[in-house]
Each structure stands twice: as C-alpha cells, then as structure tokens.
Amino acid sequence: MMLRLGEVPTMVVSSRDAAREVMRLHDTAFATRPLSATMRVLINGGRNIALAPYGDYWRQIRKIAVTELLTEGGLQFPLDMDAIKVLIFLTQLPKKVHCTQDIFGAGSETSSTTLGWAIAELIRNPKAMHKATAEVRHALASDGAVSEAALGELHYLNLGNIPAAPTGAASSATRVPGIVPAVTQVLVNVWALGHDERYWPDHPPDEFQPERFNNGEAAAADFRGTNFELLPFGAGRRMCPGLAFGLANVELPLASLLFHFDWEVPGLANPADLDMTETFGITVRRKSDLLLCPILRMAVPQPID
C-alpha cells in the first residue's frame, strides 16, 4: 500500500512475500532507517545503533555491540562485585550517553510491553496460565529460584511472541515487486503479518493459543528472521542485534513472576472479561494499565548483604 504522510511518500508492507523482498532480497536498498529533523535532535543526530544510516559508522557500532556487549559473556553481569567495584565499573562505561540508551531503550519499551501482554493473556486464559505455572514450578522446584540455565526446560512458556515494527527507507528506486521511488519510507507491518489467517491456518491468529507452535505449519516458524510471517526481531541487515538480550529480558522476569506468585485481577469475576484494548506507540501497548494482585506461593530469595 502506497500513501503519503505529509510530504513523506510511504509504502506499507503487509504480506510475507513483500516483506521478504524488502528485508532479504533488497535489504541493502532499504537498510537506512527514515529519520526526521526532530528525531535527529532527540537522539543525538541519529548516531545510535537503531537509527544510524547504513554505512561504515553503523557497521562499526553494530560490531562493537555484538562482540562486546551482547555476547553470552557480556550479558552475564558479575553479581558478586562489591559496592566499590561496581562504582569503578560504572566510571569505565562509555561517556556518550546514547551508547547506553540503545540498550536501556531496547530493554524497556519492547521487553516490558511484551511481558505485560504475556501476563495479560495468561490471566485471560486460566488453562494456559495453569500449564505455564505448573511447568515453571516443576522445572525449578529443586532450585527455589529462577536461573537462566533452567530456561531451556520451559517449553510451554516460550511458545508466544509479540513483535514490534521495524522500518526502512529506500535509498534508490527499487522493485518490490513494483517500482518504489527513492527516499520512500517503508513500514513493515509485522502486526498484520502475525494476524494474517493465510499464514496461521491451524488456529485463529487473534486467539492466544501457545499450542499452535507445537505442531502444524506454525511449529516450523522461526522468529530469527527466516520466516517473514513472524518478525519480532526483524530480518536482514538491520535485524535486532540484541536478540538474546531481548529474550532474556522477557523470559527471566516472566518465569520469576509465575514461579513465585499466583495472580488475580481485583474485582474481576470472569478472567475472559479482562480489557485487552490496544493503543499504538513505538510498540503496540495496552490502552489501560494492568493492575493485578500477587499472591506469594514460593519464597522470594533475599539479597545477601
């Protein structure tokens, strides 16, 4: 679909084949993200890893992020450091604030939104909540707490996914499959792809059914940029480099919330009546805040002084 947002020509991609053209076959032409004058002021000239123009500078900061910050070792913070060592560690962080904002932004908006939707869907579907909670407590019963090493045993908990939308801009006239004029803003509607019945024939895509990923066509869907009907981390050259970081930011808190607590909605007799109205922003968020009452079931480990 072609439209014009003010003076900006915009193409919205809502099919799997068109998404593959944009993000795989012609990803070099669409690798630069659109950046308005306002955004340049707000994000230090567009020099962060998410919005920096495609080129040598972007390749350099992405390489640093992937090799130094987002590796398995880089994500394991040394929890045994004392207060003095922590202060020394903080003073050695890069002085450019936008370097750390990339990580904090990725870990807050997208991850917290996904976590909120996951809890809301589980509350609204008691059978799914029972399965997920039982799996977590059975797998972690001997440990008494959630650990990253145990996440691999939580099959049912990891079946769902709620993606955010990547964007791009054509640097030259490109055929996708028609002619896309240069400097056209391209929006890949990953929400539409994830809710298209053509790609999810076994179960209605609007229903929360984690079991869909156990068998059928959905079981073969890979969220790492291979299957273009499911793009929580994007695809191609501008695919999110923090895939492992993002997964950990959702899986660890979700497993902890289910392991230690039962959850209820105050004043709501029927969980199916929970308001699930959406509102859009950087990600698709809940319109209203999710207010829940936690009931402690497993003791929460206390920090060591």
- Beta bridge partners of residue 13, listed in sequence order: 188
> Per the domain annotation, does 288 fall within a domain?
yes
pLDDT tens per residue, range 149-190: 778 788 887 765 445 444 555 554 554 555 677 778 888 888
- What's the one-letter identity of residue 13? V
User: Quick one: average pLDDT of 258-274?
Assistant: 91
99 is in an annotated binding site: no
> Per the domain annotation, does 172 fall within a domain?
yes
pLDDT tens per residue, range 90-146: 555 554 444 445 555 555 567 888 888 899 999 999 999 999 999 999 888 888 878
pLDDT mean across residues, the chain:
79
Q: Which two tokens stand for residue 69?
A: 């910050």
If one compares 299 and 85, the residue with the highest pLDDT of the two is 299
> Per the domain annotation, does 304 fall within a domain?
no
CATH of the domain at 266: 1.10.630.10
Structural domain boundaries, residue 32 = 2-296
pLDDT at 263: 94
> Per the domain annotation, does 302 fall within a domain?
no
Burial of 282 (0-12, 13-18, 19+ CB in 10 A): exposed
User: Quick one: average pLDDT of 54-65?
Assistant: 89
pLDDT at 133: 94
Tell me what percent of the residues of the chain surpass a pLDDT of 90: 18
> Per the domain annotation, does 34 fall within a domain?
yes
Structural domain count of the chain: 1
Q: Which two tokens stand for residue 19?
A: 């998404």
Give the C-alpha separation, 69 to 77, whole Å.
Answer: 11
User: Quick one: average pLDDT of 49-69?
Assistant: 86
